Amino acid sequence: MKIHEYQARQLFSENGIPVPSAQVVRTVDEAAAAFGQFGGQMCVVKAQVYAGGRGKAGFVKLVHNEDEARQAAQFMLTHRMTSYQTGPEGVPVSVLIVAPGVQIAKEYYLGMTIDRSRQTVTLIASSEGGVEIEEVAKKSPEKVLKIPFHPLLGLQSYQARDVAIQLGFEDKMVGEAAKLMMNLAKVFISTDASLAEINPLVITTDGKLLAIDAQINFDDNALFRHQNIEAMADESQERELDVRAKKANLNYIALDGSIGCLVNGAGLAMSTMDIIKLHGAEPANFLDVGGGVTAEGAIEAFKIILSDTNVKGILVNIFGGIAKCDLIAEALVKAGREVGFKVPVVVRLEGTNVVRAREILKAAQGELPTLIPATDLTDAAKKVVAAVA
Ligand code: GDP
Ligand code: MN
């Protein structure tokens, strides 16, 4: 789960990380008023979206007078933000922050994430922070430090001080930077975060250490422990189909191909995608309806898959175990009646009561001509690939 920058700033600030104050605004007038409130000095106007790359996309703007503040807010509130992190459709902008602009002497990168290959949490730091950090990581990986730390003990003082020195901090700034890193580690661990990032962390021209961007993502599986965080979710930032799938307890991930997949079990979903590719087509999604699939779940799953206009055919691949094949066949027929199968739906069922299930599908043929039964997985893949060709 993601939250907005202004919420992350609040969380960081509560945990002892120095963050400049900011005003959350939703209209051009509010943006102008906030500019005035900060005493008419240089401010920064920033779109609040669940994606980075705002600076390069024109959604982080330094403004020097009320007119500029209005113009920046007007632009951001009337355009979707598109960056390398969003895909061509971009994300909508309805909230901005206005914060006093800082004079930057140097930008650093500070991040924390779970390094799966080392199986532990890791601090990532660079003295080359800012909007080019991805380029730095690609072209000069030696400029990016990675320091694994203990998930229960947290980031130790000696580790944090060592990183601060390697980043080039001197004198009393070593201690300040180290403290900041340890506080970030505390937030990271106590919130069950999957990513926490300050980019850039800056030294101002008058020698202050400040986090001027803040990002944090959380592990969805731990959200039940953090109801205050769960309450911060902004559904307007998520794709509509993702929100619907989450509400229906479906594991849904949209992909770029033309064959929609409706499968029970993640492993079976993977092999379904593999076999579609093997026969020369691409899956349009990964959708795992779970072991205990119900008629209602299957209907909602069809609705979600069918609202993707890229879908030219659907492959239903279900192993009837906990939910028996005949129940699933009935659910499919019910879904067909309710949703209307506008594209070919190839069905491969296997497992308990499969004979009865095939009879049900056969009996529905006249009524649902686009429902195509398959004998096995290869047959199903061939039929669905042929249907979208
Ligand atoms: P991102 O592009 O989405 O990561 O947005 P950031 O909040 O990181 O802003 C992008 C860039 O804008 C930063 O790397 C800074 O260089 C610049 N920036 C942001 N806030 C300020 C500010 O208060 N003063 C100055 N001088 N630059 C800023
Ligand atoms: Mn940033």
Structural domains in the chain plus CATH codes: 1-20+103-238 (3.30.470.20), 21-101 (3.30.1490.20), 239-388 (3.40.50.261)
User: For position 203, what pLDDT does the model report?
Assistant: 97
- Whether 51 and 86 have beta carbons less than 8 Å apart is answered as yes
Q: Which of 128, 197, 300, 330 is catalytic?
A: 197
Q: Which of 108, 109, 128, 252 is catalytic?
A: 109
User: For position 68, what pLDDT does the model report?
Assistant: 97
Q: Report d(CA 196, CA 171) in Å as an integer.
A: 26
Q: Which two tokens stand for residue 242?
A: 């993702």
Beta bridge partners of residue 210, listed in sequence order: 202
Say if residue 293's pLDDT is above 90: no
User: For position 294, what pLDDT does the model report?
Assistant: 79
Say if residue 358's pLDDT is above 90: yes
pLDDT range class, residue 320, cuts 50, 70, 90: confident
Average pLDDT value over all residues in the chain: 94
Q: Is 109 a catalytic residue?
A: yes
- Whether 50 and 234 have beta carbons less than 8 Å apart is answered as yes
- In the three-class reduction of DSSP (H, G, I as helix; E, B as strand; rest coil), residue 129 is classed as coil
User: For position 317, what pLDDT does the model report?
Assistant: 94
pLDDT range class, residue 297, cuts 50, 70, 90: confident
pLDDT digits (tens, 9 = 90+) for 244-269: 998 888 989 999 999 999 998 899 99
Report the separation in Å between the CA atom of 293 and the middle of ligand 1, taken as the mean of its atom positions: 47
Q: Which two tokens stand for residue 285?
A: 């999604």
User: For position 278, what pLDDT does the model report?
Assistant: 97
User: For position 322, what pLDDT does the model report?
Assistant: 81
pLDDT range class, residue 324, cuts 50, 70, 90: confident
Say if residue 291's pLDDT is above 80: no
User: For position 331, what pLDDT does the model report?
Assistant: 86
Residues 6+ positions from 52 with CB-CB distance below 8 Å: 83, 85, 215
Instruction: List, chain by chain if needed, residues with CB within 6 Å of any ligand 1 atom.
Output: 44, 46, 52-55, 60, 62, 101-102, 104, 107, 130-131, 199-200, 212-213
User: For position 261, what pLDDT does the model report?
Assistant: 96
- In the three-class reduction of DSSP (H, G, I as helix; E, B as strand; rest coil), residue 225 is classed as helix
Encode 146-160: b = buried (16+ Cβ within 10 Å), e = exposed: ebebeeeebbeeebb
Name the least confident of 60-74, 118-132, 328-342. 328-342
Say if residue 292's pLDDT is above 80: no
pLDDT range class, residue 190, cuts 50, 70, 90: very high
| Among 110, 212, 215, residue to substitute to test ligand 1 (most atoms within 8 Å of Cβ) | 212
- Whether 260 and 250 have beta carbons less than 8 Å apart is answered as no
Say if residue 159's pLDDT is above 80: yes
User: For position 299, what pLDDT does the model report?
Assistant: 87
Instruction: Give the residue with greater pLDDT, 295 vs 375.
Output: 375
| Coarse DSSP helix, strand, coil percentages of the chain, rounded to the nearest 5 percent | 40, 25, 35
Instruction: Give the residue with greater pLDDT, 57 vs 307.
Output: 57
pLDDT digits (tens, 9 = 90+) for 65-123: 999 999 999 999 999 999 998 888 899 999 999 999 999 999 999 999 999 999 999 99
Say if residue 236's pLDDT is above 80: yes
Q: Which ligand is nearest to the CA of 81?
A: 1
Average pLDDT of span 311-339: 90
Say if residue 125's pLDDT is above 90: yes
User: For position 366, what pLDDT does the model report?
Assistant: 93
Say if residue 40's pLDDT is above 90: no
